[in-house]
Structure 1
Amino acid sequence: MSDSKPTRLERVETEQGARSAVLTLDSPPLNLFDQALLESLAADIAELSADPPRAVLLRAAGKVVSGGVDVHVFDGLSVRQGAELWRSLFAQIIHPLEALPCPVVFAAHGLTLTAAFEIALACDILLAGPTATFGLVETVVGLTPSMGGPQRLAERAGSGRARELVMTGDLYGAAVLAEWGVVNAVHEDVDAAARALVARLADGPTRAHAATKQIVAAWRSGGVAHADSVTPEVSGELFDSADLRGGVRSFLENGPGKAIYTGR
């Protein structure tokens, strides 16, 4: 852990000079989500929002991704305080993470419980190692996951699977969740695979990736008809980008695969 800070944000460049970022949970031994980690993570996401890179990798240091939330966070809360806790976590972590105008990749190499799993579900792409396990185990303290996990699980795997996973509080392996569509892919060296994917995405057309996120977000909030209604404007804006102009020109002059994207 660096300078006693429970998260670490690094700005990196790809071989082509594109800017990406790596955000690491680094609070050994279990990366528990206590108040300090939640505040540090929110601050890092705010920094990314203020100066977005072209792709983000969210990962964890240590043997596990996270053992979950430090239960002290919940102790003694009133109804009003509990509701305010969830509002603040949506406002400071989940929604800003989803709103980043670039691809966000989560790499899970080991045990990934509660808040960490919910944050992973808010990312665009979730990669896992073969021994990674996932769980929303809030039922052990009489709670339900409240950082968006159930609804984002339902989006990826269906409502029946979401209810099963949450209500049983069981642990599920990477292979099972890949079969359900929750995990995008399983890799032996998930950290290396995730870094390679982030570099590839960062080297790509950032504005087009941001447009994809906007269109999918419109579908999530209002269905296909709503997504159809926003697509012409969102995608139309891309015709004013150097990415599209350069990509079309290089395709016509040199064939596919020759474009160099500026991202802005």
Structure 2
Amino acid sequence: MQFKHCTLEIDGPVAVLRMDHQEVMNAVSMDMLGGLTEALDEIEARRAEVRCVVLTGAGRAFCTGANLQGRGNQQQKPGRSNAGAALETAFHPFLRRIRNLHCPLVTAVNGPAAGAGMSLALMGDMVVCARSAYFLQAFRRIGLVPDCGSTWLLPRLVGKARAIELSLMGERLPAEKALEWGLVNRLHDDAVLMEEAMKLARELAGGPTVALSLIRKLYWESPENSFEDQLNLECQSQRMAGSSEDFREGVTAFLEKRPAKFAGK
């Protein structure tokens, strides 16, 4: 399916959402965000079918940040435009929808992930990365501050010192170093990145989707909760998981010493 500057492919239980504006290395415009949002609507409409989402970029880039050349990007006159307006109206709603997905999200970082593109990459529950890829907090290069959740995500992933250094210095972080720092989960040769990403996505899609959705919610909520709050959320989530058909199947399969066949219900 073709949307504005993005495509959506449903491959069995896996949805592949691909940013596709290769002329600007998949930089995000308002048009692209509109297309991505429509694609998420389609995924949501098929939530019983789609049990894992892969987000990646077309061509040689994952996403190089906001499109400063696009017509609808609200970057009319530097110094006079409201650089935060697009965050409130478009970027933030999209990021919230990704956070609240009903199933696991795999981000396949096939090339540069800069600025907002770096944030999109790090939204993945599992981040797989091509060896040639790199990450870049590019904001300081044009006199802006990190946004799209960068200042929330980065300190929690790599610590305050490294997060501030990436943001203040604006230097490229190679894929190998990102793996060493714990910013990404797995590193693959460029030629097999999507093959490996799909293999991982299918494994997740074949799992107990109700529990996996609750797991991702637990870890998203954890940094904001006290220990007691998190204990309560675990208890609430366990009640929900324990009432699922997948839990009954999992226990039955364990007792019968056979692989479980989860239906995602």
Residue of structure 2 equivalent to 1:11 = 10
Does residue 1:43 correspond to 2:38, yes or no?
yes
**Cα deviation 1:87-133 (Å, max 9, x = unaligned):** 22354211110110211000112111112111111221111011111
Structure 1 spans left out of the alignment, 5+ residues: 14-18
Q: Secondary structure at the match of 1:213?
A: helix
Is the contact between residue 89 and residue 147 of structure 1 (CA under 8 Å) also seen in structure 2? no
Does residue 1:175 correspond to 2:170, yes or no?
no
Q: Secondary structure at the match of 1:48?
A: helix
| CA distance 1:181–1:79, shift in 2 (3 Å) | farther
| Separation in structure 1 between the aligned mates of residue 185 and residue 134 of structure 2, nearest angstrom | 14
Matches within 5 A, 1:84-233: 84-188=85-189, 189-233=192-236
Aligned length: 256
With normalisation by structure 1, the TM-score equals 0.90
Offset at residue 46 of structure 1 (A):
3.3
Is the contact between residue 2 and residue 8 of structure 2 (CA under 8 Å) also seen in structure 1? no
Give the residue type in structure 2 aligned to 1:8: T
Is the contact between residue 5 and residue 31 of structure 2 (CA under 8 Å) also seen in structure 1? yes
Offset at residue 39 of structure 1 (A):
1.6
Is the contact between residue 49 and residue 96 of structure 1 (CA under 8 Å) also seen in structure 2? no
Q: Which moved more, 1:46-55 or 1:141-150?
A: 46-55
Residue of structure 1 equivalent to 2:21 = 27
Is the contact between residue 101 and residue 213 of structure 1 (CA under 8 Å) also seen in structure 2? no
| CA distance 1:60–1:90, shift in 2 (3 Å) | closer
| CA distance 1:3–1:262, shift in 2 (3 Å) | closer
Offset at residue 193 of structure 1 (A):
0.9
Give the residue type in structure 2 aligned to 1:197: L
| CA distance 1:246–1:3, shift in 2 (3 Å) | closer
Residue of structure 2 equivalent to 1:16 = none
| Separation in structure 2 between the aligned mates of residue 32 and residue 84 of structure 1, nearest angstrom | 18
Is the contact between residue 151 and residue 162 of structure 1 (CA under 8 Å) also seen in structure 2? no
Give the residue type in structure 2 aligned to 1:239: G
Q: Secondary structure at the match of 1:250?
A: helix
Matching residue within 50, 54, 57 for 2:54? 57
Percent identity, aligned pairs only, is 26
Give the residue type in structure 1 aligned to 2:18: T
| Separation in structure 2 between the aligned mates of residue 91 and residue 46 of structure 1, nearest angstrom | 16
Is the contact between residue 106 and residue 128 of structure 2 (CA under 8 Å) also seen in structure 1? yes
Is the contact between residue 175 and residue 186 of structure 1 (CA under 8 Å) also seen in structure 2? yes
RMSD of aligned alpha carbons: 2.0
Q: Secondary structure at the match of 1:209?
A: helix
